[in-house]
Amino acid sequence: MTEPKKTRLLAAAALVAVLAASGAAHAQAPAQMPRPSNDPTEFLRTPPKPASPKGKFSLVSLGDLLYSRPMADRPDPELQKVIELIKGGDVTIANRESPTFDLKTFKGTGYANGLLWGDGTLAKDEKAMGIDMVSLPNNHATDWGPEGLLETMRLHDEAGVVHSGGGRTLQEARRAGFLQTPKARVALVSTASTFKVNAGANDAFGEVNARTGISTLRTRPIQMVTPEQMVLVKKAATEFASPLKPAPAADATEVTFNDQVYRLGDKPELRWEMDLYDHAGLLKAVREAKEQADVVVFTIHAHESTTGVDDDTPPPPDFLIKLFHDTVDAGADVILGGGPHSLRGVEIYKGKVVLYGMGVFFINGEIKALQESALRVWPDPKTGKAPPPQPEERSVRTGGNPASWYDGVVAITDFDGPKIKAVRLYPLDLGNTYDRTRRGIPHFADPENAKRILADLQRDSAPFGTKIAIEGSVGVIRLP
C-alpha cells in the first residue's frame, strides 16, 4: 500500500471513530423535556372515555382535614357514627390541610407567620378513619418548607394513604395518585390556586435543579370597572406615573395601577384569569389519568372568590366554573372544591358531580409560630411580647371563626357502572357553640341544623339548576 493511500485510510478511520463517538454521546445525553402546552383546548378536542367502575360503587368526599392530634380512636360516640359512614364507602377522599411530621425529629424549619402543623401519626390516623386518598396542595402545604412537604408525603406512603399534588418536580406534583380497589381504579389529580410564595414545584431546566413543591394554578384578578370608574383609575395612574410605569393612553381599555389590572366593562365585578400553562397542564393530567383509571377525581384548594380572597362568599369565582367544566370535559367524574371553610353549592354538569365548596371535616388544628412572627402578628398590647399559647382551635382570624366554618358535609357519590345515579349529602355540625374539647370535631347535625344546612345548599345550588331533595336529615340529588 502506498503511503498516501495509507494516510487517507487512517484519516477516514479516525473520522468514522469520531462520528461514532459523537453519536454515542448524543444518544446518552439526557432527553430534553418537551415544551409544555399553553393551549387548554388541546386536551378537550376529543371526548374522554366514560367512567368504568364495576357495578355499584360509592365515592365518599370530605372537606379539609384541619386537625393536629389523632382522632380515629377518640371515645366520642357521635364522631364514631360519622367514621362508620365514611368506612361504608368504596373510596374516601379528603384534603390534608397541614404538613404532618414529628416536631422532635424534624430537620426543617418554618416559612410562614402561622405554621399549621399535624402530628406525624396523622397519616395512620386518616387510614384508621377510612380515608384512602388525600390531596396535598393548599396554602399551608409549604408552611414548613420542602422538608415538611416531603415528610408528609413519606408518612402517607408509609401509612398506605394515596396522595397527589406534591412532588420533587412539577411533573410529579401534577401527576395523579392512583388507588386500585376491587371495583375501580381511582385517580386523584390535585392542585391549589391559593398558595405561599415559591410553593409551586418546578422541573429542572438548564443548570437549574428541580424544586420540590405543589401543583399550582396561577391566577390574576381582573377588576372590571364602568366607564366612569375607568376615568378615575386613569387619573390616578397618570398622577403616579413614572418612567417605568408611564401614564395610560387616553383610549386605553385596560390599566394596571399598583399591580392591579382594571378593565373596562359594563358593571363593576371581579373576574379571574388562569395561567394558560397551568390550565393546560391540569387538563393534560386529568386526561392522562382517565386513560389509566376507571374513575377520576379532581380537587383544588382555592380561597379566591367573587370579592377577592375570602372564605365566606357562597358564589364561586368565574375561573372555577370554567376550570371545573373543562376538567369534566377532559375526563373528571367528580370535582371537589376546597379552600373556603364554608360550604358552596353543587352542580351536575354533563352527568358529573361538581362540589364547589366542601368546607371542613375537622377544624381543630394547632398553629405554631416563629418568634418574630408571633411578636409581629400577635403582640400583647400591654407588654409587646408574644401572648400565651392560644387554644388549639384558634383561628388565624382575629376574633375567632365565623359560624359558617362549623357547618360541614359528607358527600357520597353513587355510581352504577359508568353512570352517576345519586349524590347523598350528610350535614355535619362541628360544634361552633361548644367548649373547645368538642369544637371543630364532626358530628351529624341534629334535625334542626341539618335542615338549615341543607336549605343553604339548596339556595346555593339553585343557580346551577341543581335540585336537592331533603329526606329526613339527608340531602339527595338524583340523576336520570
- For residue 85, is it within any domain? yes
- Tell me the residue range of the domain where 236 lies: 227-264
Q: Are residues 108 and 235 in the same domain?
A: no
Q: Are residues 164 and 295 in the same domain?
A: yes
Domain boundary among 264, 290, 324: 264
Q: What is residue 398's predicted lDDT score, i.e. its pLDDT?
A: 42
- For residue 22, is it within any domain? no
Confidence of residue 326 (pLDDT cuts 50, 70, 90): very high
Residues found in the chain:
480
Reply yes or no on whether the pLDDT at 24 is more than 50.
no
CATH number assigned to the domain comprising residue 158: 3.60.21.10
Q: Are residues 64 and 156 in the same domain?
A: yes
Q: With contact defined as beta carbons under 8 Å apart, do 100 and 126 qualify?
A: no
Quote the distance between the C-alpha of residue 327 and its chain's center.
14
- For residue 403, is it within any domain? yes
Q: Are residues 65 and 201 in the same domain?
A: yes
Report the percentage of the chain scoring pLDDT > 90.
80
> What is the residue-wise DSSP string for 382-443?
TTSSPPSPPPTT--SSTT---GGGGEEEEEEEEEETTEEEEEEEEEEE--TTS-TTTTT--E
Q: What is the rounded radius of gyration, in angstroms, for the C-alpha atoms of the chain?
A: 26
Q: Are residues 232 and 211 in the same domain?
A: no
- For residue 200, is it within any domain? yes
Residues 340-378 have pLDDT tens digits of 899 999 999 999 999 999 999 999 898 887 777 766 766
Q: With contact defined as beta carbons under 8 Å apart, do 66 and 362 qualify?
A: yes
Q: What is residue 387's predicted lDDT score, i.e. its pLDDT?
A: 57
Domains in the chain, number: 2
Q: Are residues 319 and 253 in the same domain?
A: no
Q: Whole-model pTM?
A: 0.89
Q: Are residues 254 and 178 in the same domain?
A: no
- For residue 24, is it within any domain? no
Confidence of residue 310 (pLDDT cuts 50, 70, 90): confident
Q: What is residue 118's predicted lDDT score, i.e. its pLDDT?
A: 97
Residues 239-288 have pLDDT tens digits of 999 999 999 999 999 999 999 999 999 999 999 999 999 999 999 999 99
Q: Are residues 147 and 258 in the same domain?
A: no
Q: Are residues 470 and 330 in the same domain?
A: yes
Q: With contact defined as beta carbons under 8 Å apart, do 214 and 200 qualify?
A: yes
Q: What is residue 270's predicted lDDT score, i.e. its pLDDT?
A: 96
C-alpha cell at position 53: 367502575
Q: Are residues 238 and 177 in the same domain?
A: no
Q: Are residues 213 and 238 in the same domain?
A: no
- For residue 404, is it within any domain? yes
- For residue 149, is it within any domain? yes
- For residue 270, is it within any domain? no
Q: Are residues 437 and 342 in the same domain?
A: yes
